[in-house]
Structure 1
């Protein structure tokens, strides 16, 4: 039985979908920061958001709250991971530039 009704589960599913799409399109925007495993995690996240939207109406309040906490934790950890990837890339470029400057 599929019973889709607009509620907090749809809102959470849309938030996860937006986060997953940002991760997926990171490859086009900043290819130096993207990793190959991002496509795998984007697929898993999209599947999770679809399941949450379709079957989330069954969640009682405490389970819905646990899903909110999990989604917030995953999105914050993902944001920090991408930010740190950019920082590592920037540091590697700076180190490479310094090495070429000293060798000339």
Structure 2
């Protein structure tokens, strides 16, 4: 039996789905920033968000708060990682232009 109750776990799960799908769509939009291991992290994130959506109704408030903190730190670290990938790519392009 699957019991999906609408609550903050649904919102948290969909925020995580949106975040990891942006990581996957990075491969289409800016392929120079994408890495091969992004598919692995996208798959793990989708699995984690599905578990949170389906079984999140069982979380008591302190466990839900810990999930909020984990997902927030995960999304912030992912954003920073992608931003640093862009900076490294731009630095490599500038270095290659100076060498020519």
Aligned runs of 1:1-104 on 2, under 5 Å?
1-100=1-100
In 2, distance between residues paired with 1:9 and 1:2?
A: 15
Give the TM-score, by structure 2 length.
0.99
- Which entry has the higher C-alpha Rg, 1 or 2? 1
Structure 1 runs (4+) deviating above 4 angstroms are none
Give the TM-score, by structure 1 length.
0.95
Q: State the 1:2 CA deviation.
A: 1.5
Q: Please report the RMSD computed on the Cα atoms of aligned residues, expressed in angstroms.
A: 0.4
What are the superposed Cα offsets for residues 3-43 of structure 1, whole Å, 9 maximum, x if unpaired?
10110000000000000100001000000000000000000
In 1, distance between residues paired with 2:71 and 2:45?
A: 10
How many aligned residue pairs are there? 100
What are the superposed Cα offsets for residues 50-103 of structure 1, whole Å, 9 maximum, x if unpaired?
000000000000000000000000000000000000000000000000000xxx
In 2, distance between residues paired with 1:33 and 1:86?
A: 6
